[in-house]
Structure 1
């Protein structure tokens, strides 16, 4: 049964998500439609990419992933369809594709969007394109080749000889805080040295736990989560709310120096010794 996932920023308060599913099923009643989330943050592409990349990699070959993020930020002339790790990603040309994949996909085409359009008129085109892919598995059958596209890439940690600094990538519903530092990056920089994870100026964690039960209730901990990223938390607590930590915000980053006094609420630094 062909799988189509939906990952959007449109919420679920009205009829739109149901209508999109209806459009897909009208093209092929056998689609297995899976919701990833409908609450992607429009001003946080790194978080959106973190969600998409770490969900998509668990799906089988030939899954079609529809990503609706900032569809109407700019005039929409086409959508991208990219093949990545034997799966298909359909999204606007706003940089989210390379944020998800980490590089420019080798196989990518554009589906033209012309004239007056609404969200549902665009998703109707998407539904037809996915149905075509189902029959052909050939990108050239659904769009035209693309040479230039908007490229944005995930945030990377800043590294010094005895320190590294990461940004808060994501804060989950339990207010646990995920940092854009992977286990591999951490170990490469650590080189078996002792370390201190420092946030909010003077809060320190100096060991890596295996899971939440490794510490007593109410104690801070750091561990590498199921996606392989550094996560700091409080066992049975709400770390982000307690310490006023904030996720990456694209608008704040663009304001630069005007928000430097808030920067320490969004970063975590690790010192090695």
Structure 2
């Protein structure tokens, strides 16, 4: 049986996470359920997209990702099961699917929902569907195929010969600012040129391997394991100390010569 991951905005103080897991384990006690995060801020679709997008590829193909973020966010009460790059996803029709898949899932079905299940859809609708897929069930049994699901767009980089403009797409629990500027985009534009990185009132002229390469309290930039440019303060909270957060602009400027 495939692994089931579970991500939600339920937090850690209520019974909601346990109730969803119990609904799966009561049907299949041997089910493997892996928590990605339950600390997503309530209804925060961009945060959920980043956290799930950063993690799901680490799991084997066939993994089923149960996503209970903003589960009542759709007035139409639509819920989808989707397949993308060998993984399955179950979630409300709130735009998150389009962000995770860049609008191009391989298969999407609208899950047929009894209105009596909707007061707690993660437990009563999405969890049984996740178990069904994890046991090898055919996604088409869950509902009719559709191409109609809410579309949102990820932030796009602005690139020209002399600069890249990006934005902060996630702030982690350490206050590190993770941007949508990638190592590949910088290398593609740089062609060996020097560059500086600008954010808020700060300018940084070097990317370090880790934050510990600078003194405690100093600001620096590095690439994370996903190749994304990050801004942090060694032993400090960059978001608080720099006054930056989600969607803050970050620029990389290139200069002639080496």
TM-score by length of 2: 0.92
Shift in Å, 1:272:
0.8
Match of 1:25 in 2: 25
CA deviation string 1:144-174 (max 9, x = no partner):
1112111223211222331111111111111
Match of 2:52 in 1: 52
* C-alpha contact (below 8 Å) 2:217/2:233 kept by paired residues: yes
Match of 2:209 in 1: 210
* C-alpha contact (below 8 Å) 1:133/1:142 kept by paired residues: no
Q: Does 1:223 align with 2:222?
A: yes
* Cα distance in structure 2, aligned partners of 1:117 and 1:168: 37
Shift in Å, 1:17:
0.6
| Aligned CA-pair RMSD | 1.8
The runs of 5 or more residues in structure 1 that have no matched partner are 249-265
* C-alpha contact (below 8 Å) 1:233/1:239 kept by paired residues: yes
Shift in Å, 1:236:
1.5
Shift in Å, 1:44:
4.1
SS of corresponding position for 1:7? strand
The aligned length equals 255
The runs of 5 or more residues in structure 2 that have no matched partner are none
Shift in Å, 1:43:
5.6
* C-alpha contact (below 8 Å) 1:113/1:122 kept by paired residues: no
* Cα distance in structure 2, aligned partners of 1:43 and 1:18: 19
* Cα distance in structure 1, aligned partners of 2:167 and 2:43: 15
SS of corresponding position for 1:241? helix
SS of corresponding position for 1:131? helix
Match of 1:234 in 2: 233
* Cα distance in structure 2, aligned partners of 1:121 and 1:241: 36
User: In 2 relative to 1, CA 14–44 (structure 1 residues): closer, same or farther, beyond 3 Å?
Assistant: closer
* C-alpha contact (below 8 Å) 2:73/2:92 kept by paired residues: no
Match of 1:112 in 2: 112
* Cα distance in structure 2, aligned partners of 1:104 and 1:3: 23
